[in-house]
Amino acid sequence: MSDACIFCRIVSGTIPAALVASNAHAVAFRDVHPQAPSHLLVIPRRHVASLSEATDGGELGALLLLAAEVARAEGLESTGYRVVANTGNDGGQTVHHLHLHVLGGRAMHWPPG
């Protein structure tokens, strides 16, 4: 837990978020600036700065399973969705607590911008 980290503060409940689901390792909530009709973030409860710093396969598995669970709950399974982990500067990461974006409800484009 880092007091300076906005996502740690969401996990601890000291700042509000639209929580949608959680498991032992991970928490899911709605992105405050949605880029698609469904835009959720899935984060580890522990402070892990980015995918590059991740070491715990069980924790990463829990993140992916929760991403699939929230996509299912959003009704995205039949139409499809995208899971993204922006990592580092070139990856476009702005919040330095590992997170998976789950985006759906519209067709995604490739290559991404």
- Contacts with ligand AMP, residue ranges (CB under 6 A): 6, 17, 31-33, 41, 86, 92-95
Catalytic residue among 47, 99, 101, 109: 99
Nearest to ligand AMP of 78, 93 (CB atom): 93
Give whichever of 78 and 99 is closer to ligand AMP, judged by the CB atom: 99
Return the half-sphere exposure (C-beta side, CA atoms, 13 A cut-off) of residue 103: 18
| Residue 101 annotated to the active site | no
Q: What is the largest CA-CA distance in the chain?
A: 39
Residue number with the smallest Cβ distance to ligand AMP: 86
Closest to ligand AMP by CB, 78 vs 87, is 87
Distance CA 97, CA 50 (A): 6
**Between the CA atoms of 69, 70, 74 and 77, what dihedral angle is there, to the nearest 10 degrees?**
-40
Q: Which residues are catalytic?
A: 99
